[in-house]
Amino acid sequence: MSKVWNYFAGPCMLPVEVMKKAQEEFCDFEGAGIGIVEMSHRSAEFTKVAQDAEALLRELLNVPSNYKILFEQGGGRGQFAAIPLNLMPEGGHADYFVTGHWSRCAWKECNERYGEAILHECSEQDENGQYFIDYSKMKVTEGSSYAYLCLNETVNGIEVFDIPDTGDVPLIVDMSSDIMTRPIDVSKFGAIIFGLQKNVGPAGMTITIVREDLLGHARKYTPSVLDWSVLAKFESMFNTPCTFSWYMGGLNFKWIKSLGGVTELEKRNIEKSKMLYDYIDSTDFYISKVVPKDRSRVNVVFTLKDESLNDEFIKTAKAKGLIGIKGHKVLGGMRASIYNAMPIEGVKVLVEYMKEFAANHK
């Protein structure tokens, strides 16, 4: 196949330059004679790779010095357990601001296994059937251990741009799909968690950026690998980390820096998503079910007005080299994920295809 455009939601497209570099040195990392995946995580070479990646992440996100950066295994799902295990004492409670699929999963993990997770339904439908975020619902309750929020709901295509003020209650956010896509003020959060497999690198690693005073309170039965204070103490080398993801994350951070950092990426992501939403709004062939102000810049979710055309839309796209546009199974419809690695050309190609398909099915 000559050229493929990859709109998978994650694992997903990675920057072409990053992929090429990793391929080039796959069997011989910087002249060491062996590949990065063949190196001990405690070797001098890998230690440098790991430390450089962390330093660059700290620089790009402007992470304050009183925050630790932890490189973990277990995925976002593992962190859904780690959050209450590390932050909520037995008998405590926490507030979950739910705006879609993944924040509901986080709520469920806590509520079924660790204690009272108060569900605040923060996504509602307006009179046109479009979803919007009801920020007025984002209120913490008395004595809450933390408030939880997913800043970008990958499945629903909803993104939180206004960070609620939770006062002294630490706000814990999942940024798996929008990390590095826009500047954020880390100091507003108790912890930021994200899986690497969308905007950073291959699946297999999760990063937690956590304020130091929140460490050291884990429940007794917290597995060591999910105990943030254990990971902090051993600088994420308590056990063997997913070295390849860590390494590729580092390559990705270098790529981001070379482009001008997250501010530049935010500009590009605004431009890319605007192009796609503008087209969707200009036709009644396609529908966005999210109000403009809350639309995700990275996961553009839409449906065809005539849903009987869904299969044909996907099949025809694939034949043209446009893959991964089927929506998540819980929601159906379509989803184009256009993370940092997706160039504007990839969005233009998609819009052209959508126009053509619509024209052919008038």
Q: Report the C-alpha gap between 263 and 240 in whole angstroms.
A: 33
| Under 8 Å between Cβ of 157 and 273 | no
Closest listed residue to residue 188, CA positions, set 213, 207, 209, 171: 171
Least Å distance, CB 140 to a second copy, is 24
- Residues 333 and 200: their CA atoms lie apart, in Å, by 26
Active-site position among 5, 95, 198, 227? 198
Interacting positions 182-201 with a second copy (CB under 8 A): 195, 197, 201
Shortest gap between Cβ of 65 and a second copy (angstroms)?
28
Number of residues that bind a second copy (CB under 8 A): 69
In the structure encoding, which two tokens stand for residue 59, read together? 């620089």
Ranges within 72-131 binding a second copy (CB under 8 A): 73-78, 80-82, 85, 109, 113-114
Report 286-325 residues binding a second copy (CB under 8 A): 321, 323-324
> Which CB atom, from 240 or from 258, has the smaller least distance to a second copy?
240
What's the Cα-to-Cα distance from 220 to each of 50, 102, 225, 334, 340, rounded to whole Å? 29, 27, 13, 44, 39
Contact letters for a second copy, residues 29-68 (x by CB under 8 A): --xxxxx-xxxxx-x-------------------------
Nearest Cα residue to 248 out of 311, 216, 287, 204: 204
CA atoms in the 13 A half-sphere facing the CB of 253: 22
Q: What is the DSSP letter of 258?
A: H
Tokens of 228: 């943030």
Among the listed residues 174, 178, 227, 294, the single catalytic one is 174
Least Cβ distance, residue 29 to a second copy (angstroms) = 11
Interface with a second copy (CB under 8 A), residue from 57, 94, 140, 226: 226
Q: Which of 26, 89, 258, 345 touches a second copy by CB under 8 A?
A: 26
174 labelled catalytic: yes
Residue 305 is a catalytic residue: no
Nearest Cα neighbor of 153 from 184, 179, 174 is 174
Taking phi first (over 0 means left), then psi (-120 to 50 degrees means alpha), and beta for anything else, what does residue 193 get? beta
**Residue 342 contacts residue 13 (beta carbons within 8 Å):** yes
Select from 10-18, 119-127, 148-156, 282-290 the region that touches a second copy (CB under 8 A).
Answer: 10-18
| Known active-site residue 188 | no
Backbone angles phi, psi at 32, to 5 degrees: -75, -15
Candidates 102, 107, 228, 246; catalytic one: 102
Site for a second copy, rule CB under 8 A: 1-4, 6, 8-14, 19-20, 22-23, 26-27, 31-35, 37-41, 43, 73-78, 80-82, 85, 109, 113-114, 195, 197, 201-205, 219-226, 238-245, 248, 321, 323-324
Q: Which residues are catalytic?
A: 102, 174, 198
